[in-house]
């Protein structure tokens, strides 16, 4: 890597991400803020694998990165040599991270003098390497403050709760969080004997090693939780490093393709707040049966829609997580027979991908059926669009609980007792409620308020801007810049 003389004089920070788009995006935006707003030189370190997604490659090879932001790749990992077909998502990720650790020390040493290293939440082994090299290390938590609170509490819960969490008679409670119904818990929490749970506990138990924890949220969005984290005796006893909400950090709007422009032109012809946007992001998939029920429910609602359809899978909802952007074939062949013809006057069906940010910011978009990944959640909030929560994997069910019960901008479809699918009648009900009901209007008002608070948080004098500025000044003072 060649560094210009100008960049060599700036304080240098390394940012370390795991190879998942939901993590790379906010960490990359955080890096851009340090470079553009605070005049840092940032080396963005990312794991490379033999199965890197097309979306990841496209993002990291962007020609529009600001001068001073360099992408640095670890030596590539042969995924097949370190993973097995039966590994679950989190275990697979953590095994790849473990393999990359072998080269971390040499990579950091080659970068020269570093003021700090900012570490992804699933790369906490890097704390040991940074300690050995005498480099201050910070954690970047890519999810909500509530989820950070839960993660910090997990080692205590692990000691105090006997047996399995899923056998508890009441919702799980931790300071600063709404009670989490047992069925909404993050999948690895449902079996404490599996490797996924052990990895989750391992990383959570090391968060206290951070000099500080950056979070992709803002104080006003999660004020109750932030107050608990800074004032509740529980978090002082752990102890908890300083928590720095610096969000919302979301991906900038990419250039539009000719097809994207066609989608937006269709939206231009629709009434304000009248269109439901259905998109489960690039890493999530539905079963064939659930896709059928979802399509029928959308049709029965008689509401306008943009429906992003991906090829279904009956294996795992996260089956496409590591191959995001690589969809092939025609997923629309999996829709109910006649769906396209019957709905052509009020709906638009899009194969695989649509320009999410551009659709969400369009005034005709009145609701978003989303998997509740945190990046998509932030995108919908800053555009003032209410949610139908359709979580698929990871912490998305817990996010859905937060958004519906604490933040008040989402509604969760109900699955009938004894059934595994959200039925078409329930889909019809929630779609009507959000687009054409009083509940939807209430949620739209609430998201409008949060949209304003997000903008203020990022302004000079706002909570998120000032939190990062304080940290930047501290790093600069340490480097005598």
Catalytic positions are 23, 120
Quote the CA–CA distance of 44 and 105 in Å, as a whole number.
15
Closest CA to 22 of 397, 379, 458: 379
Helix axes 195-204, 145-160, angle to 10 degrees: 110
What are the helix (H) ranges across 216-326?
223-231, 233-237, 258-268, 288-301
What is the strand order of the sheet 243-245 is part of?
Answer: 69-73, 41-46, 12-17, 116-120, 137-141, 213-215, 243-245
Closest CA to 101 of 61, 60, 130, 81: 130
What is the strand order of the sheet 365-370 is part of?
Answer: 347-351, 304-309, 275-278, 365-370, 387-389, 410-411
CA torsion angle for 65, 70, 75, 79 (degrees, to 10)? -30
Quote the CA–CA distance of 57 and 284 in Å, as a whole number.
19
Quote the CA–CA distance of 341 and 302 in Å, as a whole number.
14
Measured on CA atoms in the order 435, 440, 445, 446, is the torsion positive or negative? Answer: negative
DSSP string, 284-308: ----HHHHHHHHHHHHHHT-EEEEE
H-run or E-run covering 156? helix 145-160
> Six-digit token pair at 64?
């529009």
H-run or E-run covering 15? strand 12-17
Tell me which DSSP letter residue 334 carries: G
Quote the CA–CA distance of 134 and 144 in Å, as a whole number.
30
Q: Which residue has the tokens 């074939």?
A: 329
Quote the CA–CA distance of 120 and 124 in Å, as a whole number.
7
208, 240 contact by CB (below 8 A):
yes
Quote the CA–CA distance of 310 and 280 in Å, as a whole number.
9
Quote the CA–CA distance of 9 and 46 in Å, as a whole number.
24
């Amino acid at each position: 890597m060649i560094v210009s003389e100008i960049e060599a004089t700036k304080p240098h920070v390394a940012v370390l991400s795991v190879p998942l788009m939901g993590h790379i995006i906010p960490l990359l935006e955080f890096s851009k803020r340090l470079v553009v707003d605070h005049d840092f030189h940032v080396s963005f370190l990312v794991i490379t694998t033999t199965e890197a997604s097309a979306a990841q490659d496209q993002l990291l090879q962007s020609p529009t990165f600001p001068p001073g932001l360099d992408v640095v790749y670890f030596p590539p990992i042969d995924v097949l040599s370190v993973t097995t077909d039966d590994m679950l998502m989190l275990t697979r990720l953590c095994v790849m991270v473990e393999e990359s650790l072998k080269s971390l020390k040499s990579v950091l040493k080659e970068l020269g003098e570093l003021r700090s290293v900012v570490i992804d939440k699933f790369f906490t082994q890097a704390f040991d390497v940074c300690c050995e090299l005498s480099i201050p290390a910070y954690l970047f938590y890519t999810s909500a403050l509530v989820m950070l609170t839960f993660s910090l509490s997990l080692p205590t819960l692990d000691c105090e709760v006997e047996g399995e969490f899923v056998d508890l008679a009441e919702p799980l409670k931790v300071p600063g969080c709404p009670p989490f119904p047992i069925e909404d818990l993050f999948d690895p929490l449902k079996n404490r004997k599996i490797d996924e749970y052990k990895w989750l506990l391992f990383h959570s138990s090391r968060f206290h090693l951070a000099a500080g924890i950056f979070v992709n949220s803002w104080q006003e969005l999660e004020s109750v939780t932030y107050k608990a984290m800074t004032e509740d005796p529980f978090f002082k006893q752990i102890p908890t490093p300083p928590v720095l909400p610096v969000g919302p950090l979301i991906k900038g709007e990419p250039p539009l393709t000719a097809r994207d422009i066609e989608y937006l032109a269709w939206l231009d012809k629709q009434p304000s707040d009248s269109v439901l946007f259905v998109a489960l992001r690039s890493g999530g998939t539905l079963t064939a049966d659930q896709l059928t029920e979802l399509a029928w429910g959308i049709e029965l609602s008689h509401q306008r829609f943009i429906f992003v359809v991906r090829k279904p899978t009956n294996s795992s909802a996260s089956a496409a997580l590591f191959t995001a952007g690589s969809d092939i074939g025609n997923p629309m062949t999996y829709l109910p027979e006649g769906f396209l013809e019957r709905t052509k006057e009020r709906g638009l069906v899009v194969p695989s991908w649509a320009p999410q940010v551009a659709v969400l910011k369009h005034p005709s978009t009145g609701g978003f059926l989303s998997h509740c990944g945190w990046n998509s959640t932030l995108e919908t909030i800053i555009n003032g669009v209410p949610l139908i929560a359709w979580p698929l994997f990871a912490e998305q069910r817990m996010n859905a609980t937060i958004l519906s019960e604490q933040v008040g901008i989402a509604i969760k479809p109900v699955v009938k007792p004894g059934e595994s699918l959200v039925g078409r009648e329930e889909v019809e009900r929630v779609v009507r409620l959000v687009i054409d009901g009083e509940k939807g209007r209430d949620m739209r008002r609430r998201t409008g308020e949060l949209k304003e608070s997000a903008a203020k948080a990022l302004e000079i004098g706002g909570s998120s801007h000032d939190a990062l500025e304080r940290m930047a000044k501290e790093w600069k003072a340490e480097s005598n810049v």
